[in-house]
Structure 1
Amino acid sequence: MDWPLKFFEFMIFEFMILIKTYIIKLITEENKSKKNKRDDMDRVKTGIAGLDEMLNGGIPKRRHVALYGGPGCGKTSFCFEYLYRGAEQGENGVYITLEETADDIVENMRNTFPLLKNTEKFIEEKKLEIIKPEKFEMEEIAGILEDRITSNDVHRAVIDS
């Protein structure tokens, strides 16, 4: 009497294992597919050592990236280095600051990154521009970006608020 019941329980157990295995296989294949899609995206190399590897080759091209963090955590430094490394690769950049002056940013970066020795040279050659708009108005900021993109072939832009 017990034999048919035990056999039935065994078959249900085997069937459950088979279903779990199939589901795991589907999830794994889906994740691989998503990863391949992410890896196939065009990316902009940041030029920052180690970061591009963590980001699967860089920041997705033609995407907006927002950095969040408290004061002093390195947002401005990251953005400045991103533009600096772009200038090294021949990509002009514009840094729009809504709080600090251009001189303050250059001085802070000189102290933070003493190895970025070409900062002044890149600024003189307009490979790296730092602009502080007179007013915090979206129309003015959009106008500055449009002007720099068309007149100076800007490929990288940062708006630091």
Structure 2
Amino acid sequence: MAQKKEMAKMQFSKVPVYNAGLDSILNGGLPARRMTLVVGEPGSGKTVLGMEFIYRGALNKEKGIFLGFEESLDVLRENAATLGFDLKAMEKNGQLFLMEGRLDPEMVVSGKFGLQPLLSVI
């Protein structure tokens, strides 16, 4: 119990998601300078959440990199356009960098693994 109280006292610097409802739930945004893993079933909105975060950050003069593992870059751009996000313009002015992270099927491994080998591929 004492450990929980100590953790509650700790203040992390936050990065806003630029979505008022989500920023409220997250008490100001995501922890700054930390990796945040978003997981969920197909179609649960992971890509949309990431795209909104990176796009709205760019609107606020922050540079960002979006690494997509499923869709091609053209499909990502088309889907973002349906949400009103003009990724091409932001890429052109250097605010955003989109990168395909799809792995060769021969590189797919199952079982226990660490993040370091994956990060080295990226």
- Please tell me the TM-score bracket, short chain as reference: 0.7 to 0.9
Q: Using the alignment, how far apart are the partners of 2:100 and 2:27 within structure 1?
A: 33
- TM-score, length-scaled by structure 2: 0.76
Find the counterpart in structure 1 of residue 88 from structure 2. 120
Report the alpha carbon displacement of residue 126 of structure 1 after superposing the two structures with TM: 1.9
Query: Which of these residues, 9, 28, 52, is aligned with residue 57 of structure 1?
Result: 28
1:100 equivalenced with 2:71 (yes/no)? yes
Q: Using the alignment, how far apart are the partners of 1:122 and 1:36 within structure 2?
A: 39
Report the alpha carbon displacement of residue 31 of structure 1 after superposing the two structures with TM: 5.6
Percentage of matched positions with identical amino acids: 30
Higher helix share: 1
Q: Using the alignment, how far apart are the partners of 2:80 and 2:101 within structure 1?
A: 20
Find the counterpart in structure 2 of residue 155 from structure 1. none
Q: Which runs of 4+ in 1 moved over 3 A?
A: 29-34, 133-138
Report the alpha carbon displacement of residue 134 of structure 1 after superposing the two structures with TM: 7.1
* Unaligned residue ranges in structure 1 (runs of 5+): 1-26, 142-161
Superposed CA RMSD: 2.3
**Aligned-partner residue type, residue 65 of structure 2:** V
Find the counterpart in structure 2 of residue 132 from structure 1. 100
Q: Using the alignment, how far apart are the partners of 1:85 and 1:41 within structure 2?
A: 21
SS at 2:90's partner residue? helix
Q: How many pairs align? A: 109
Report the alpha carbon displacement of residue 109 of structure 1 after superposing the two structures with TM: 1.4
Q: Which has the higher contact order (CA 8 A, sep 6+)?
A: 1
Deviates more, 1:118-127 or 1:88-97: 118-127
Judged with a 3 Å threshold, the aligned counterparts in structure 2 of structure 1 residues 34 and 134 are, in CA distance, closer, same or farther, namely closer
Report the alpha carbon displacement of residue 34 of structure 1 after superposing the two structures with TM: 3.4
